[in-house]
Amino acid sequence: MTFRSLKLIDPLLRTLDELGYDEPTPVQKQAIPAVLAGRDLMAAAQTGTGKTAGFALPLLHRLTLEGAVEPLGVRCLVLAPTRELAEQVFNSFRKYGAHVPLRYGVAYGGVPIEPQVNKLRKGLDVLVATPGRLLDLQRQGALSLARLQTLVLDEADRMLDLGFAADLDAVFAALPAERQTLLFSATFPDAIRALAGRLLRDPLSVQASPANAAAKTVRQLVITTDKKSKPDLFLHLLRERGWGQVLVFAKTRKGVDQLVGVLQQEGIRADAIHGDKPQPARLRALARFKAGDVQVLVATDVAARGLDILGLPLVVNHDLPTVAEDYVHRIGRTGRAGASGEAISLVAADEVELLRAIETVIRQVLPREEIAGFEADHRVPSTGTPTPVGGRKAAGKPASTPAKKPASRPVSNPATKHAPAAAAPVTPRPAGGFGSAAPERPKAPKRVPQGAVVVAAGRGAKSAAKSAAKSAAKSAANPPAQPPNRGPERGRKKR
């Protein structure tokens, strides 16, 4: 099948020829005819498979043939969860629509609103926006959604994760009932399917790849270590393995800045993207990384969705994501458009439940490796039967080998418990809220004899020995007093 067989107009076909697009991807083959026919659509496909072109090309076709925009009006609205994704989708529309006479705009926070207001005065055929800034513009009377023809939600699951549920409800209330609605994402958890049930009319469902599947072109690996050793381990791997450009994900903004500081002290060209950075600084960091001026870009999950970095060979999860589905989006920054890539996750013992949730979502147990000199003192429990990597020793015991079970009280951190062979089920998050993909398991209390030395399962031999010696010395120095038998406490005279 070719793009011409999809019956797109000649200006779009000319652009595709100039871009070197030979034939549509699986998601484009299914989505483009449905969008051209005016159907509501819920499309799921792996990252890097051309989802943006799957809705942009047919929408550009229809907008070119169907009428003109009015002042302050918007004919097609695309909502995106992050500024970076909004900017990228906007640039994709401009690129694909280079030969059609349409007007495009982008609106997000963190930058002055006046230029966006000015852009909207003559009306826009396509507006790409984040929900918060869109509502700001609407409250100022800068745009009208009364004549909207098509709404696109790009990465709607992330919008709910980021707490945009109330904003989305306000946007939906301002839209005309008669419209086309399209949902595109790599992952569709239950909360998004419930949202789709409210918004879409007789939708066509497109599943171009298994739900929540990681791209087969990405080689995945877990390297176990202790939390405090992660920065040094990353530096070691960067030098020892001769890595070129690397996109690194950390859990918090503070963690991003700390890792960038460590890298810069070692003379490595590194930059950061996170929510505390001004938008111009975030765009500069991304542009420098794409241009090759920055070797290591460290980011929070604001960079996990939609960023198309040509030829990126490697993604490193310095910290695992709290939401398991975000792992699929993170590693989807590499291995795009059929190219091969690698995704390495540095995992400590306190992240074992996050790892288990990720493996449940992607339906596979990730292979493990340990690096000499960076072995985990607090062993990362097994989440299933480990897959050896190239003949190297896999970290953790196989699921069939039970861990030594000491007589101990309940362990407060589930990451230090021996993990069962079967992965725990993922609990869906309620729409609009935050939530962990893998809840803690209930822990039944156990009695511990007085003076007993307790060693948590999975601790390293060195730490266990230190704890046992310290407890024994304390017991010898302070033997428990044996009070005389005075009978009942009630009625005893004070001395």
Encode pLDDT of 121-152 as tens digits. 999 999 999 999 999 999 999 999 999 999 99
Lowest-confidence segment of 286-300, 336-350, 447-461 by average pLDDT: 447-461
In this structure, the chain runs to a length of 495
Distance between CA atoms of 464 and 442, rounded to whole angstroms? 25
Q: 3-class DSSP state for residue 361? A: helix
In whole angstroms, what is the distance from residue 126 CA to residue 114 CA? 18
Which long-range contacts (C-beta less than 8 Å, at least 24 apart) are formed by 62-66? 62/35, 62/36, 62/38, 62/149, 62/150, 63/100, 63/102, 63/125, 63/126, 63/149, 64/9, 64/11, 64/100, 64/101, 64/102, 65/9, 66/149
The CA distance from 420 to 269, in Å, is 42
What is the enclosing helix (H) or strand (E) of 128?
A: strand 124-129
What's the CA gap between 304 and 283, in Å, rounded? 15
Per-residue b/e over 461-481, b at no fewer than 16 CB within 10 Å? eeebeeeeeeeeeeeeeeeee
Give mean pLDDT, residues 446-465: 44
What's the pLDDT band for 210 if we cut at 50, 70, 90? low
Q: For residue 401, give the 3-state DSSP assignment.
A: coil
Residue type, 92: S
3-state secondary structure of 225: coil
pLDDT above 50 (res 209): yes
Read off the tokens for 93. Answer: 């529309």
HSE-CB at 442 with a 13 A cutoff on CA atoms is 1
Given a cut of 90, whether residue 478 has pLDDT beyond it is no
Who wins on pLDDT, 406 or 372?
A: 372
Cα distance between residue 163 and residue 194, in whole Å:
16
Which pair of tokens denotes residue 252? Answer: 């918090």
24 versus 455: which is more confidently predicted?
A: 24
pLDDT score recorded for residue 309: 75
- Strands of 318-364 (E only): list them: 341-347
Q: CA triplet 438, 444, 446: central angle to 5 degrees?
A: 140
Match 């209930």 to its residue by tokens: 442
Q: Where in the chain is the domain with CATH 3.40.50.300?
A: 4-207, 218-416
List the one residue out of 219, 230, 232, 92 whose CA is nearest residue 154.
92
Is residue 405 scored above 50 in pLDDT? no
**460, pLDDT greater than 70:** no
Residue showing tokens 């176990």: 224
403 or 23: whose pLDDT is higher? 23
**How far is 301 from 475, CA to CA, in rounded Å?**
48
Backbone angles phi, psi at 345, to 5 degrees: -115, 125
Position 402, amino acid: P
Pick the CATH number of 218-416 from 3.30.930.10, 2.40.33.20, 3.40.50.300, 3.40.50.800: 3.40.50.300
CB-based contact 160:141 (threshold 8 Å): no
Which residue, 192, 205, 185, is CA-closest to 51? 185
Chain segment 387-397, per-residue pLDDT in tens: 444 434 444 33
Residue for token pair 């024994």:
472
Give the DSSP per-residue string, 424-474.
Answer: PPPPPPPTTS---SSPPPP-------TT-----TT--HHHHHHHHHHHHHH
The pLDDT tens digits for 242-267 are 999 999 999 999 999 999 999 999 99
Residue 194's pLDDT is what?
A: 81
Where residue 471 falls among pLDDT bands split at 50, 70, 90?
low
CATH homologous superfamily of 4-207 equals: P-loop containing nucleotide triphosphate hydrolases (3.40.50.300)
Residues 138, 172: Cα–Cα separation, whole Å:
12
Give residue 340's pLDDT: 83
494 pLDDT tier (thresholds 50, 70, 90): very low
Q: Residue 286 contacts by C-beta under 8 Å, 6 or more apart in sequence? A: 84, 273, 297, 303, 307
Over pLDDT 90: what percentage of the chain?
47
pLDDT of 48:
66
What is the pLDDT at residue 416?
37
pLDDT in tens, 303-332: 766 567 777 899 999 999 998 888 988 888
Average pLDDT over all residues of the chain: 79
**Is pLDDT larger for residue 128 or for residue 461?**
128
Q: Which token pair is 475?
A: 């017991």
Place of tokens 């707490």: 163
Would you state the pLDDT for residue 407? 40
Exposure class string for 38-68: b at 16+ Cβ within 10 A, else e: ebbbbbbbbbbbbbbbbbbbbbbbbbbeeee
- Mean pLDDT, to the nearest integer, of 460-476? 49
